[in-house]
């Protein structure tokens, strides 16, 4: 067995030697990216072009990455963490795993798009919308509030993607604004009323096809599809809840540098670039259609201006993803 084992070990070693360069060649900084892959790729490309620092993206979702970083602790291979929503950032921050963001970077973003702690910073923003099928719903039939969707009259008529961090962020805002009991009740009613899809694009596609009247998603899926062929959004219109309704929640996508990063300088530089002119311009001119959050940065002119959305005031650092998962699991949504 000694020889069998050493043969095995030798083979494994040889594999590692061949594979090491194949998969793990100089990776530069490692970004755990929960943002849309295409957006993060553009950021990485622009940053590498300007600074020569290589960026390796590991793609995943907000919640799995945040929990993963917590599980990895100080040994996390990640240098930077980018999310679509704030709750995941709050989770990592609560575990004390973020290094403070450079002051220069923080100065590039207005106060309202960053947590008071300065442990991470907003890199983009997205608005909750009710995307509906124009042939099935008239303007006066639209829900006035997100809470209306709990009404039995909406049974079987709306969709969402409960397994995604996007929707979970919306629930976390609801939890922060209306409290635990009201949220639990709303989720229970949701379980009765709604139809589950996997992914917001899929929700919009179903709305477009008339499979369902409407769905709770974020705004940019619509604009992204319109810019391409429009084949999944032709019959779709967006309804903004406004009035500081929980359904008018604007979710801040965050970026942070891990305290355990082995390349803190490069990681900070990346975050600075993303929140700076280069990174924010990608949001304006690219295909992501997410809102830019940098000072003086412009969002794509096709979007309803961020200032007009009448979003409720929610401190992003207080969004509690753990509780949300717990409530959603209890309601049988997960």
Partner 1 sequence: MFGDRLVDDSRLRFDPPEWHIAPLPPAGGGDPAACLMQSTIDMTPARLPAARMKERRPTSWITLAAALISLVALLPLAFIVWVAIQTGWDTVAALIFRARVGELLVNTVLLVLVTVPIAIVLSVALAWLTERSDLPGNRWWSWLSVAPLAIPAFVHSYAWISLVPGLHGLWAGVLVSVIAYFPFLYLPIAAALRRLDPALEDAAAALGLGPWRVFARVVLPQLRLAICGGSLLVGLHLLAEYGLYVFIRFDTFTTAIVDQFQSTFNGPAANMLAAVLVVCCLFLLALEVMIRGEERYARVGSGAARKQQRARLGRATLPCLLLPAGVALLSLGVPFVTVSRWLLAGGTEVWRWDEISLALGQTLFLAIAGAVLATLAAMPMAWISIRAPGPLQRLLESCNYIVGALPGVVTALALVTITVRVALPLYQTLFTILFGYALMFLPRALVSLRASIAQAPVELERAASSLGRSPVKALWSTTVRLSAPGAAAGMAMVALGITNELTATQMLAPNGTRTLAMAFWSYSGEIDYASAAPYALIMVAMSLPMTWWLYIQSKRMAGR
Structure token pair of residue 243: 């009035």
With a CB cutoff of 8 Å and minimum separation 6, the contacts of 290 are 39, 124, 125, 126, 220, 253, 283
* Residue 81 backbone class (left: φ over 0; alpha: ψ -120 to 50; beta: rest): beta
- Window of 95-103, 163-171, 174-182, 298-306 that interacts with partner 1 by CB under 8 A: 163-171
Rule CB under 8 A: say whether 75 interacts with partner 1.
Answer: yes
Give the separation between CA 317 and CA 304, rounded to whole angstroms.
25
Structure token pair of residue 200: 């917001």
Specify the DSSP element, H or E, that contains 142: none
Out of 48, 67, 244, 298, name the contact with partner 1 by CB under 8 A.
67
216 and 130 Cβ atoms separated by less than 8 Å: yes
Rule CB under 8 A: say whether 37 interacts with partner 1.
Answer: yes
Which residue number, 201 or 244, has a Cβ lying nearer to partner 1?
201
Out of 48, 51, 56, 235, name the contact with partner 1 by CB under 8 A.
56
Q: In angstroms, what CA-CA distances link 30 with 7, 44, 59, 235, 256?
A: 33, 11, 11, 40, 12
Rule CB under 8 A: say whether 94 interacts with partner 1.
Answer: no
Rule CB under 8 A: say whether 160 interacts with partner 1.
Answer: no
Rule CB under 8 A: say whether 318 interacts with partner 1.
Answer: no
Out of 144, 155, 198, 234, name the contact with partner 1 by CB under 8 A.
198
213 and 153 Cβ atoms separated by less than 8 Å: no
Rule CB under 8 A: say whether 264 interacts with partner 1.
Answer: no
Which residue number, 104 or 192, has a Cβ lying nearer to partner 1?
192
Interface pattern 219-258 for partner 1 (x via CB under 8 A): -------------x--------------------------
| Residue among 96, 94, 118, 77 nearest 267 (CA) | 77
Give the separation between CA 257 and CA 301, rounded to whole angstroms.
31
Q: For residue 291, give the DSSP letter.
A: B
Out of 39, 43, 44, 61, name the contact with partner 1 by CB under 8 A.
61
Find the shortest distance in angstroms from Cβ 166 to partner 1.
Answer: 12
* Binding positions for partner 1, rule: CB under 8 A: 1-5, 7-8, 11-12, 15-16, 18-20, 22-24, 27, 30, 36-38, 56-61, 63-68, 70-72, 75, 77, 163-165, 168, 196-199, 201-202, 205-206, 209, 211, 232, 325, 328-330, 332-334
């Amino acid at each position: 067995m000694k020889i069998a084992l050493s043969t095995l070990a030798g083979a494994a070693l040889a594999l590692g030697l061949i594979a090491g360069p194949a998969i793990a060649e100089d990776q530069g900084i490692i970004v755990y990216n929960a943002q849309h892959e295409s957006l993060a790729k553009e950021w990485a490309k622009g940053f590498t072009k300007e600074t020569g620092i290589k960026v390796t993206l590991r793609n995943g979702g907000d919640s799995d990455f945040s929990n993963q970083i917590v599980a990895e602790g100080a040994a996390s291979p990640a240098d930077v963490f980018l999310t679509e929503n704030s709750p995941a950032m709050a989770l990592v921050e609560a575990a004390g795993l973020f290094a403070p963001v450079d002051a220069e970077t923080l100065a590039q973003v207005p106060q309202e798009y960053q947590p008071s702690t300065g442990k991470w910073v907003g890199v983009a923003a997205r608005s909750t919308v009710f995307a509906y099928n124009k042939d099935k719903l008239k303007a006066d039939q639209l829900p006035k509030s997100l809470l209306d969707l709990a009404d039995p009259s909406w049974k079987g008529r709306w969709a969402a993607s409960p397994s995604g961090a996007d929707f979970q962020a919306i629930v976390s805002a609801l939890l922060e604004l209306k409290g635990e009991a009201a949220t639990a009740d709303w989720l229970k009613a949701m379980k009765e009323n709604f139809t589950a899809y996997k992914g917001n694009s899929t929700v919009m596609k179903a709305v477009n096809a008339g499979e369902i009247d409407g769905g709770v998603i974020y705004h940019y899926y619509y604009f992204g599809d319109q810019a391409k062929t429009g084949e999944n959004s032709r019959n779709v219109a967006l309804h903004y809840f406004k009035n500081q309704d929980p359904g008018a929640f604007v979710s801040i996508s965050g970026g942070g540098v891990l305290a355990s990063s082995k390349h803190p300088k490069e990681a900070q530089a990346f975050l600075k670039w993303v929140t700076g002119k280069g990174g924010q311009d990608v949001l304006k001119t690219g295909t992501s259609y997410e809102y830019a959050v940098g000072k003086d940065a412009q969002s794509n002119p096709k979007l309803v201006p961020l200032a007009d959305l009448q979003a409720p005031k929610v401190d992003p650092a207080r969004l509690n993803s753990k509780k949300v998962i717990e409530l959603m699991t209890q309601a049988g949504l997960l």
